[in-house]
Amino acid sequence: MADGDFNPSRRRLFTRRARDPVRPPWARLARFTELCTRCDKCREACPEGIVARGDGGFPEVDFRLGECSFCHACAEVCPVEGLFAPPQRTPWTIQARIGDGCLTRAGVYCESCRDSCAPRAIQFELALRSVPRPRVDTAACTGCGGCVASCPAGAISIGATSIGEGHG
């Protein structure tokens, strides 16, 4: 293996990630780390500033920095033929998940995630003798990540749905 080559399967022997990285929208995951040259053009083109240099220098989306507007700029500047799917397809199959750290589970009234959710995929259900609790409408969630940065408890994550392997 030449100096600078990256073999993700070998690296996984030594590290454990809590989650798989979220690649930019429309990225074709099957051969992403094999084809991506780590040129940073997608990172530089992202108007939202959410594409960051991740493990091995590969681009990944960091929703703590903001939400994806699905502008397709990252895919348009990519010099690698076929690394991204055309924008007519669904950008990815990831959705918001609200974890146990949600403030509502501690009886704190908070609706920050709902307020930041443009597609209105997060609704609050009334609970008997408790504050309303959030629920993600999986049919409406686009996986944009707008809810992640707004959560004061850091209780929201974005991950692959049970439909498919991730995105792309």
Q: Sketch the domain layout of the chain as residue ranges.
A: 8-76, 94-160
Q: How far is CA 59 from CA 10, 110, 114, 166, in A?
A: 19, 32, 28, 15
* CA–CA distance, 8 with 111 (Å, rounded to integer): 38
State pLDDT tens for residues 13-42.
454 445 689 999 999 989 999 999 999 999
CATH of domain 94-160: 3.30.70.20
Tokens 């033929």 -> residue: 81
pTM: 0.80
Could you please state the CATH topology (level 3) that the domain comprising 8-76 is classified under.
Answer: Alpha-Beta Plaits (3.30.70)
State pLDDT tens for residues 136-154.
999 999 999 999 999 999 9
**Same fold? 8-76, 94-160:** yes
